[in-house]
C-alpha cells in the first residue's frame, strides 16, 4: 500500500492506494500544519483502508506544511502533486486551478500530464481560502454559506481592493452604508475569480480546466470562474484530496522505480 499526505494550512488530507492505483481511502481532517491533524488524517486513512503501518511501503508528503513532517520517504511540492492527481482523475486536463488556504496556483500541463508552466500567488491572501474566511466573518456567516448567499444577489457589488485587509475594510464600509449582504458576498466571490483569472492569464488557459482544493466546493466560485474563462470548470468528486492523491501516486511510482514491487514478488515466489 502507498500513502500520500497533503498538509495544508487549514486542513490535512491523506490517500491510500494499492499497487493497481485503486483508491482505498481518502480522508480530510479540518486541522492544518502544526496540529494533531496530521496524525489523525494518517490514522483515519489507514483505518478506512484496513491496513496497518507496516503495510505502507512508501509515503510521499506534500503541501504547505510538508517540511514539518519527518516520517515520509519523500517530500514533493503541491504543484507536482496537484498536477499528478488531477491528470490521473481527468487525463484531458490541461489547466489546473488550486486555491488553498494561503495561496493560489494555476498549473498548465501538456498532453502527457507533464508540467509546462505555472504561476503561484503566495505573498497575498487575496484570491485564497483565507480571503473567503475573512469575508465570511465580516458578513456574519459560515464560509459554506457564502455561495448560497451570493446566489441571491441581483447585482454584485464590486470590491476594488486587491489586499485582503483593505478589502475587509471596504466590505465593512459597504455594510455600514446599507448595502445588501448578498450583493457584497457576490462581489467578494467575483473578486476572487478576477484575481485567479489574472494569474491564469500569465500562463495561458488551455482546456480542459479542472479546479482542485477545498474552495472548489463553492459553486458560486466555480460559476464565476467559468464566466471569467468562458469555459466549463471541472471539479473532481473529492477536490480537497487531489494533492494527496498525486502524492500517493508518486509514492507508488517511486517505489516501483526502486524495484520494490519486483523484489517483493520475487521474494513471495521463493
| Every domain of the chain and the residues it spans | 2-82+241-269, 91-235
Q: Supply the pLDDT for residue 262.
A: 47
Pick the CATH number of 91-235 from 3.30.420.40, 3.90.950.10, 3.40.50.300, 3.40.50.11540: 3.30.420.40
Check if 2-82+241-269 and 91-235 are the same fold.
yes
Quote the pLDDT of residue 125.
60
Please state, for a pLDDT cut of 90, what percent of the chain lies above it: 51
Concatenating the DSSP letter of every residue in 70-129 gives: -S-SEE--HHHHHHHHHHHH-TT--EEEEE-SS-EEEEEE-TTS-EEEEEEE-S--TTSH
> Does this model's pTM top 0.85?
yes
Helices 219-229 and 181-203: crossing angle in degrees, nearest 10, is: 50
Asked if residue 269 has pLDDT above 60, the reply is no
Residue 259 φ/ψ region, left for φ over 0, alpha for ψ in the -120 to 50 degree band, beta for the rest: left
Residue with cell 473529492: 238
The matching CATH number, chosen from 3.30.950.10, 3.30.420.40, 3.10.450.50, 3.40.50.150, for 2-82+241-269 is: 3.30.420.40
pLDDT digits (tens, 9 = 90+) for 146-196: 888 988 888 878 787 767 777 888 888 888 888 889 998 898 888 888 888
pLDDT of residue 264: 45
Q: Which residues of 11-33 are buried (b: 16+ CB within 10 A; e: fewer)?
A: bbbbbbbeeeeebbbbbbbebbb
Amino acid at each position: 500500500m502507498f500513502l500520500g499526505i497533503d498538509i495544508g494550512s487549514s486542513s490535512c488530507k491523506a490517500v491510500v492506494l494499492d499497487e493497481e492505483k485503486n483508491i482505498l481511502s481518502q480522508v480530510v481532517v479540518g486541522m492544518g500544519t502544526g496540529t494533531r491533524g496530521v496524525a489523525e488524517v494518517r490514522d483515519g486513512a489507514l483505518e478506512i483502508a484496513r491496513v496497518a503501518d507496516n503495510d505502507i511501503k512508501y509515503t510521499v508528503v506534500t503541501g504547505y506544511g510538508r517540511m514539518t513532517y519527518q516520517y515520509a520517504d519523500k517530500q514533493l511540492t503541491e504543484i507536482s502533486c496537484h498536477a499528478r492527481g488531477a491528470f490521473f482523475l481527468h487525463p484531458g486536463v490541461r489547466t489546473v486551478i488550486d486555491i488553498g488556504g494561503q495561496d493560489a496556483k494555476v498549473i498548465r500541463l501538456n498532453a502527457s500530464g507533464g508540467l509546462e508552466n505555472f504561476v503561484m500567488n503566495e505573498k497575498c491572501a487575496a484570491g485564497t481560502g483565507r480571503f473567503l474566511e475573512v469575508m465570511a466573518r465580516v458578513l456574519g456567516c459560515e464560509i459554506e454559506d457564502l455561495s448560497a448567499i451570493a446566489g441571491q444577489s441581483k447585482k454584485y457589488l464590486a470590491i476594488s481592493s486587491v489586499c485582503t485587509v483593505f478589502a475587509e475594510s471596504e466590505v465593512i464600509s459597504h455594510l455600514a452604508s446599507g448595502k445588501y449582504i448578498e450583493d457584497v458576498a457576490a462581489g467578494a466571490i467575483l473578486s476572487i475569480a478576477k484575481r485567479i483569472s489574472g494569474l491564469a492569464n500569465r500562463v495561458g488557459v488551455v482546456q480542459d480546466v479542472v479546479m482542485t482544493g477545498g474552495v472548489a466546493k463553492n459553486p458560486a466560485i466555480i460559476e464565476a470562474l467559468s464566466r471569467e474563462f468562458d469555459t466549463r470548470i471541472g471539479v473532481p468528486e473529492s477536490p480537497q484530496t487531489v494533492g494527496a492523491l498525486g502524492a500517493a501516486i508518486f509514492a507508488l511510482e517511486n517505489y516501483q522505480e526502486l524495484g520494490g514491487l519486483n523484489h517483493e514478488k520475487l521474494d513471495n515466489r521463493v
